[in-house]
Structure 1
Amino acid sequence: MTMIAGIVLFVSFFLLLLFGAPIALAIILSSVATFLLIVPFDVAILTSAQRMVTGIDNFTMLAIPLFVLSGIIMNNGGIAFRLVNFAKVLVGRLPGSLAHTNVVGNMLFGSISGSSVASAAAMGRIMTPMQTNQGYKKTYSAAVNIASAPTGLIIPPSSVLIVYSLVSGGTSVAALFMAGYIPGILWGLAVMVVAYFMAKKEGYSISETPNTKDKVYIVGSAIPSLFLIVIVIGGIVAGIFTATEGAAVAVLYATLLSLIYKSLKVRDIPAILKETIEITGMILFLITASALFSLVMSYIGLPEALSRALLSITENQIGIILIMIAILLMIGTFMDITPAVLIFTPIFLPVAQTFGMDPVHFGMVVCFALCIGNMTPPVGSALFVGCSVAEVRIENVIKTLLPYFAAVIIVLLFVAFIPQISLFLPNLFGL
């Protein structure tokens, strides 16, 4: 019965996606259809409704709309431009310096905004004209922006890590946040290495370096924006406030900072709140749908069955991890990261735990692998936004993106097979 129910669950889900159904609706309909195979109609409907409601009845979940709101405020608050100038100071002497500025800018702004799309859009709008004026190819500029935009999903604060915490049974958010720093920075450095060699090959120039006085001013103007990370992450790690309270602090700080910069007007607030509601509604609907999906999988014993199937292929830990990574990379190419985390964490986490894999380490592997899907077709959101902002066709950028894709995959393998890359900081802070 488990096999039949599992086939119905996934076949109906992918068929609905194939016919263009919204992913949340596809999850709900396939879950209910599978439930009807094994329980009476009234029980299936009542249980489904209850599970969908309880799936988002969690205080930690409140952090998601608050982090979304803070990210949108910062995206509209003039913070991105100050971070770009700060990034120039850090990497302005490297060949292809504007590309490296783009990468560092994405790492900084992406971590603050928590959105690869917002980061790709903000950095692309600022950096692409500058790079074009310096003679950079648009495909090169777009590829650098696209490849580095997802770093903000790994470097905290990150709503993706909060979602993983919830679905993995309460893995510490503070530990996950600290675990995200080194993998996220390694991702950015890998992109910079590829950008460096491509810039040397193309002969791209080095930008003019600001004088000492300008450097001091640029760093000083960027410090208030960077201080947001210190306040939020420092407060969560130190136990001063929870992740949800930290998100509320981020909203307050971002609002005050944007008002001080005079880049946020009172008339902008309704549009910001509307965008927040739309994004939050989409995320929470996906979460509540995926909660039902997880219940059905658990009810029919699918995670255990798939665990046994994987272990029947090989009992070698390296082989199992490679299989899971391959599946996650494939899933990430056509499924958004939030539902993918919600659906596949309950399937793969029990397998990882049979090898004694730490849930924090496994969370980094899952989120890192799925985030790569942001830069790949057919549904890579950073890919579409980056190409749109740079005004280039996707098919023209793909070839330039391939070396970046390979570099990020190599970093993923390091993260997967060297646990201390993820666990060093959490262990250091006793999390």
Structure 2
Amino acid sequence: MALATLFILLTLFLFFGVPVAVSLGLASLVYIMMAGMPDVLLIHTMIGGIDSFPLLAIPFFILAGHLMNTGGITTKIFAFARALVGWLPGGLGHVNVGASVIFAGMSGAAVADAGGLGNVEIKAMREAGYDTDFSVGVTAASSTIGPIIPPSLPLVIYGVMASVSIGELFAAGLIPGLLMAASLMAMVAWYARARNYPKDSGISLCNIWITFKQAFLPLLTPVIIVGGIATGVFTPTEAAIAAVCYAMFLGLVVYKTLNWKHLVRVSMDTIETSAAILMIVAAAAVFAWILTSNQVAVHLGDAMLGMTTNKTVLLLIMMVMVLAIGLFMETIAAITILVPVLLPIALKAGIDPVHLGILVILNLMLGLLTPPVGMVLFVLSEVSGVKFERCVKATMPFLVPLIIVLLLITFFPQIALWLPTTVYR
């Protein structure tokens, strides 16, 4: 009875728009009181849920992304990407994807990518005569590369929740992220041929060299982060701190685009974002503890394994569950709820948890591009001045290449597992 009440209350709270952290916390508190447990258990479990060293990476990665945005780093990245691939048919569409790949190595969040690069990209594409719908669609889709290519905030959360090496998860995300970029560039090429989109400019090695020199120092950010983790120089948390120090060095010393007023504003934004994420993680820790103590995952796993023992079929069933949750819930919240349920099933079926993590995050990225939540769509609607409904319609075609990549990684796990196996195992 108490467990049924937990799920009913959670569903009702979320339906009526109660914040996810509050919904999880209140529903869990009602369960604890109905079960006759001391209410102080809620606080102890919440504190234990965020008492984790790897979670320190979250505010630092968020701060690094904010510093890069505020310091004008995005314009240098866009200029370099424009010189590099702008000569292709539909040039600015390819530039859009290329810039997202580069920025992914700095921000680790789709919303940061959409907000930071979106304004620059859509403005440039409009001025060049591209359709607004195409500009918004490719910008939205390419922003989902950010949480797949390391560093990645969702992968950090997943790693903590699943007790999986964050370094392995980062390594596993690199090839799928590049595959996403390649599939989106193929889609852009198809649009360019069908609509006769122009090349942005002729290829110029001189221009590539000039913009590369201007963007060289920002481009070192992912090298420092990923290289440092891969070589064992520092942990993912220490890598996040190194990224912040490097971003401050670029903004304060090299480019002089940051001042103390900027730092205060950026710090406050980081505190607000980090607090919201960690509250969700803390509340989800209580929810996960309740599910574990009632063996919900075990019973669900037995039911699913009773249907089939085929790993691929099980993954497809789980991906449908993730997609359904992702349509209605923000990424971090969805991860914290889904991992305690799906991970035991995956382990029982012999599915690699690193492989599962990449699939879950990539699947949840589709939720950022679909209503009713669609956080990236809301951001781009604000940035571009286009109605939300039109943003949804513009983005729909670009879901096709992303779904194809998701299916490829589902059927061929080595796409994600080859690099972490080679480096870490």
TM-score (norm 2): 0.97
1:213 aligns with 2:206: yes
How big is the shift at 1:423? Answer: 0.9
Q: Residue 430 of structure 1 corresponds to which residue in structure 2? A: 424
Q: Residue 12 of structure 2 corresponds to which residue in structure 1? A: 15
Partner Cα separation in structure 2 for residue 69 and residue 368 of structure 1:
23
Residues 307-326 of structure 1 aligned to structure 2 (within 5 Å): 307-326=301-320
How big is the shift at 1:277? Answer: 0.4
How big is the shift at 1:156? Answer: 0.7
Q: Residue 244 of structure 1 corresponds to which residue in structure 2? A: 237
1:334 aligns with 2:328: yes
Partner Cα separation in structure 2 for residue 229 and residue 316 of structure 1:
37
1:36 aligns with 2:33: yes
Q: Residue 128 of structure 1 corresponds to which residue in structure 2? A: 122
Partner Cα separation in structure 2 for residue 217 and residue 93 of structure 1:
16
1:201 aligns with 2:197: no
Per-residue displacement from partner, 1:122-161 (whole Å, max 9, x unpaired)? Answer: 2221121221122111111000000110110111111111
1:224 aligns with 2:242: no
Out of 63, 86, 95, the residue aligned to residue 92 of structure 1 is 86
1:147 aligns with 2:141: yes
1:185 aligned partner, one-letter code: L
1:161 aligns with 2:155: yes
Q: Residue 96 of structure 2 corresponds to which residue in structure 1? A: 102
1:82 aligns with 2:79: no
Partner Cα separation in structure 1 for residue 312 and residue 151 of structure 2:
30
**Contact between 1:110 and 1:118, CA under 8 Å: does it hold in 2?**
no
2:13 aligned partner, one-letter code: L
Partner Cα separation in structure 2 for residue 78 and residue 401 of structure 1:
27
**Contact between 2:159 and 2:166, CA under 8 Å: does it hold in 1?**
yes
Q: Residue 183 of structure 1 corresponds to which residue in structure 2? A: 176
1:371 aligns with 2:365: yes
Q: Residue 256 of structure 1 corresponds to which residue in structure 2? A: 249
1:187 aligned partner, one-letter code: M
**Contact between 1:32 and 1:44, CA under 8 Å: does it hold in 2?**
no
**Contact between 1:6 and 1:302, CA under 8 Å: does it hold in 2?**
no
How big is the shift at 1:430? Answer: 2.6
**Contact between 2:369 and 2:392, CA under 8 Å: does it hold in 1?**
no
Q: Residue 360 of structure 1 corresponds to which residue in structure 2? A: 354
Partner Cα separation in structure 2 for residue 312 and residue 34 of structure 1:
29
1:226 aligned partner, one-letter code: L
Partner Cα separation in structure 2 for residue 193 and residue 12 of structure 1:
45
1:289 aligns with 2:283: yes
How big is the shift at 1:398? Answer: 2.8
How big is the shift at 1:381? Answer: 1.1
Partner Cα separation in structure 1 for residue 5 and residue 418 of structure 2:
42
**Contact between 1:128 and 1:390, CA under 8 Å: does it hold in 2?**
yes
**Contact between 2:169 and 2:357, CA under 8 Å: does it hold in 1?**
yes
**Contact between 2:90 and 2:197, CA under 8 Å: does it hold in 1?**
yes
Partner Cα separation in structure 1 for residue 391 and residue 255 of structure 2:
36
The SS at the match of 2:39 is helix
Partner Cα separation in structure 2 for residue 246 and residue 319 of structure 1:
37
Q: Say which is worse superposed, 272-281 or 111-120, in terms of deviation.
A: 111-120
Partner Cα separation in structure 2 for residue 233 and residue 317 of structure 1:
31
Per-residue displacement from partner, 1:365-412 (whole Å, max 9, x unpaired)? Answer: 111111221111111111111222222122223333222112111100
Partner Cα separation in structure 1 for residue 205 and residue 339 of structure 2:
49
Partner Cα separation in structure 2 for residue 229 and residue 389 of structure 1:
26
How big is the shift at 1:5? Answer: 4.1
The SS at the match of 2:50 is coil
Q: Say which is worse superposed, 191-200 or 321-330, in terms of deviation.
A: 191-200
The SS at the match of 1:165 is helix
Out of 39, 44, 49, the residue aligned to residue 50 of structure 1 is 44
How big is the shift at 1:314? Answer: 2.9
**Contact between 1:111 and 1:151, CA under 8 Å: does it hold in 2?**
no
Partner Cα separation in structure 2 for residue 347 and residue 373 of structure 1:
19
Partner Cα separation in structure 2 for residue 337 and residue 193 of structure 1:
27
**Contact between 2:164 and 2:354, CA under 8 Å: does it hold in 1?**
yes
Q: Residue 398 of structure 1 corresponds to which residue in structure 2? A: 392
Per-residue displacement from partner, 1:44-75 (whole Å, max 9, x unpaired)? Answer: 41211110011111111111111111111011
Q: Residue 62 of structure 1 corresponds to which residue in structure 2? A: 56
**Contact between 1:141 and 1:390, CA under 8 Å: does it hold in 2?**
no
**Contact between 1:96 and 1:204, CA under 8 Å: does it hold in 2?**
yes
**Contact between 1:190 and 1:404, CA under 8 Å: does it hold in 2?**
no
Q: Residue 408 of structure 2 corresponds to which residue in structure 1? A: 414
Partner Cα separation in structure 2 for residue 369 and residue 392 of structure 1:
25
Q: Say which is worse superposed, 341-350 or 84-93, in terms of deviation.
A: 84-93
1:26 aligns with 2:19: no
Partner Cα separation in structure 2 for residue 32 and residue 363 of structure 1:
29
How big is the shift at 1:210? Answer: 5.7
**Contact between 1:287 and 1:339, CA under 8 Å: does it hold in 2?**
yes
Partner Cα separation in structure 2 for residue 393 and residue 192 of structure 1:
25
**Contact between 1:111 and 1:153, CA under 8 Å: does it hold in 2?**
no
Per-residue displacement from partner, 1:72-104 (whole Å, max 9, x unpaired)? Answer: 101111111111111112211221110110111
2:9 aligned partner, one-letter code: S
Extract unaligned runs of 5+ from structure 2.
none
How big is the shift at 1:255? Answer: 0.5
Partner Cα separation in structure 2 for residue 346 and residue 424 of structure 1:
25
**Contact between 1:75 and 1:113, CA under 8 Å: does it hold in 2?**
no
Q: Say which is worse superposed, 61-70 or 304-313, in terms of deviation.
A: 304-313
1:22 aligned partner, one-letter code: P
1:262 aligned partner, one-letter code: K
